[in-house]
Amino acid sequence: MTSVETCYKETSKQMYIKRKRDEQSTYTTIVLISTLLLTTFATGLNCFSLMTNHWEYITWNSQALKKISLEQNMGLESYFDNLITRVFVTNSKNSTVGIYLLPMHGGIWTVCISLREAEMILLGGFNLPTEICVNYLSTKLFKEEHYNFTDWNNRMQNVSISCALVSLIILGCAALTGGFGILKHQLSAILVTGVMYLLAGTFALFTIMIAHFKRLDCRRNHLKTHGINLNSRYVILDEGILVESVHKELLPGFSHKFNKFYSARELNFGWSYDVGMVGVLLSLTTSIMWILLAKILRYSPIAIQL
């Protein structure tokens, strides 16, 4: 074999190796960019979903309310095209005791009156509260001596808040760990990032499942007699049910009449719930991509450049 042939073979071998390295580097770059994009979307969607308050919508069926009020021989007043309904009964002293049934929407942290700004202004004209939202973590809630913290919905709400907090904390830590792993080429940090996104997605899934199944207690057949003080005049007894403070103590004697109206309450999931589901799927996909990236970077020539 001549020196020319030997040189040609060596050159061909080097070109083949270089081509393979370039192909592998391109593949690794694509995986890296895809992982970073998925990470951005997964983190953003999960945080956005957990921080918004449109997980569920609470409305009242106007036809069912009319039917129940006739059966119970109770008064019924509707405002804003049946958006708000006042149900009332007159006691033996000719004193009117009533509750307001409001449309509301809620999330992990808050429950809000679901009315437009113009409707809220009109609401104030009826001397109804114009505070839009009540935070489940509000200090005034914890000061309520008679508030039932052992209620199924309240317990599930507390668990969902805990899961949401854990998910948010893990997402923040995972983003920092992943950035450190990429910049410093720490394969162990990259692998840990994949595991952390799996955990974040799992806790976000727990939050979604709790939000879904906590409403199994919609079979509730009794009206609460204590709730959250919205202001000095009104108390929220339950999601969608408002009562004047001066009538709160009179409710136990008439609660059997108001209990029937729970069957007219309608609960539907909102867009925050759907965004959360997409965020969970992206978190699980992101976890797989980070673990795959750690495996690829272990043998990839691009790792030398990181």
Element (H, E) at 212: helix 187-213
199 phi and psi, to 5 degrees? Answer: -65, -40
Gap between the Cα atoms of 280 and 231, Å rounded: 38
Q: Which is nearest to 208 in space by CA: 77, 95, 49?
A: 49
Q: What is the pLDDT of residue 249?
A: 52
pTM of model > 0.75: yes
Q: Which is nearest to 208 in space by CA: 296, 282, 274?
A: 274
Gap between the Cα atoms of 115 and 137, Å rounded: 22
CA dihedral 152, 156, 158, 162 (to 10 degrees): 160
- Give the chain's largest Cα–Cα span: 120
Predicted confidence (pLDDT) at residue 214 exceeds the cutoff of 60: yes
List the alpha helices (DSSP H) in 73-151: 117-125, 139-142
Predicted confidence (pLDDT) at residue 105 exceeds the cutoff of 60: yes
pLDDT tens sequence across 227-246: 444 444 555 656 667 766 54
- Averaged confidence pLDDT in the chain: 75
